[in-house]
A = this chain, B = another copy of it.
Amino acid sequence: MSLLSLDSAQLQQLMERTRKDYEELQAKGLKLDLTRGKPSKAQSDLANDLLTLPGESSYTDAAGNDLRNYGNLEGIRELRELWGKLQGISADQLVAGDASSLNIMFDLISFAYTFGTNDSQRPWGQEETVKWICPVPGYDRHFAITERFGIEMITIPMLEDGPDLGAVKELLQDPQVKGMWVVPMFSNPTGYTISDAKARELASLEAAAPDFRVVWDNAYGVHTLTEDFPEILPIIDYAEEAGNPNRFWVMSSTSKITFAGGGVAFFASSKANLDWYLDIAGIRGIGPNKINQLAHHQFFGSAEGVRSVMRRHAALLAPKFDAVLRILEERLGEYEVAHWTKPEGGYFVSLDVVDGTASRVWELAKDAGIVLTKAGSAFPLGQDPNDRNLRLAPSLPPLSEVETAMDGVATCVLLAALEKLSA
């Protein structure tokens, strides 16, 4: 029964009940946080073996190098091989760094801005304008990087099978369009995964800029919520086959697999791109923390070892996602005041409420002690043109808190919708 089909008496009645629900919610004095995609304590516990690794007298790699000392900018071979096997990437095309892939993404754009990429005619910083394609809703920290470099962000829709490539094709005729953000699997915040056909198309689209780059941030490549691990698409191969070998900067990390703050990040790309990156990274420093890489190799043991850890994450996460979806359906389904994604992996549920009410929902929730990611944060500059989207991050709080918070959120969504309708 859609809100719009209610008569005014019914609406009045629903409004009264919802206001009462909201008052009761406020009276609870909650202090709940659904803001960030952080692993829970129980998830971090899964990697506690790392706290004593690599272990006494364990400090050499398979080739016998002393990992305690300087050197090895690419990262240790055996971890790159393990990770390459997991991701379908040759170890030769894979660099293992310190903990944060965000750091590497920033550096890639910074290096391109200051020095130009290996395919650039001039540094991006010397271009009149640099434009960037941003599928929305998307990842706020991505957009914060391009914003910081003064890059003009052009939004396109993120669809269920990936970014709207019709829009991308059009935009790529502009030589000032130098880049694009893509989270190919279990995307932040929608949970959408790009289809094989779209990935191949993106690899082969003609681009006016020879130095057009896609930051292919596969942050959730093995972050399933089910028993299944969808195939990780060999995007570097697709690009190579399509004659655009340098198009993709491919990111991944163990951040939500082992320790979010102390894992290993990976950067994969064509040899030419890696050479370009390493040439500058080699001025920036001497090498990553290889002891932590050794510890990670020991902890995982194999590519299957990573999947095994991820199954245990899924077991902890799936009930929380189930609760979010269940409560949204139970509380809001009949009124047709919201749409939400039903992710099979990743860290988020993307919730679209009645146009023009997302900020109000955020405010209502906040006033009831439930902190949500700010409305609009999944859009460049934090501006959702429809004031419609909210990102839900249920991973961190315990299940009972997720349930309480989501019930509260549902009340706020309904109340905001009713307020709008009666305005």
Contact = CB atoms under 8 A, between A and B. Distances in A.
Contacts of A291: 50-51, 259, 261-262
B51 A66 contact: no
A48 interface: yes
A59 interface: yes
Contact of A44 (B56, B68, B102): B68
Interface string A99-110: 110110011001
Given A36-B70, A291-B262, A285 B114 contact: no
Contact of A286 (B100, B125, B259, B292): B100
Interface string A33-63: 0001011010010011011111111110000
A28 interface: no
A209 interface: no
A38 B70 contact: yes
A71 B98 CA distance: 15
A290 interface: yes
Given A110-B110, A125-B125, A51 B58 contact: yes
Most chain B CB atoms below 10 A, which of A114, A149, A285: A285
Contacts of A53: 51-52
- Give this chain's copy count: 2
User: A interface, by DSSP: helix, strand, loop or mixed?
Assistant: loop
A56 B50 CA distance: 9
Interface string A278-297: 00100111111111100000
Interface in A258-277: 259-262
A113 interface: yes
14 contacts: A41-B66, A44-B59, A48-B57, A51-B59, A67-B261, A70-B255, A98-B289, A102-B286, A106-B284, A107-B284, A113-B114, A144-B283, A259-B291, A262-B291
Interface of A: 36, 38-39, 41, 44, 47-48, 50-59, 66-72, 98-100, 102-103, 106-107, 110, 113-115, 125, 141, 144-145, 148-149, 255, 259-262, 280, 283-292
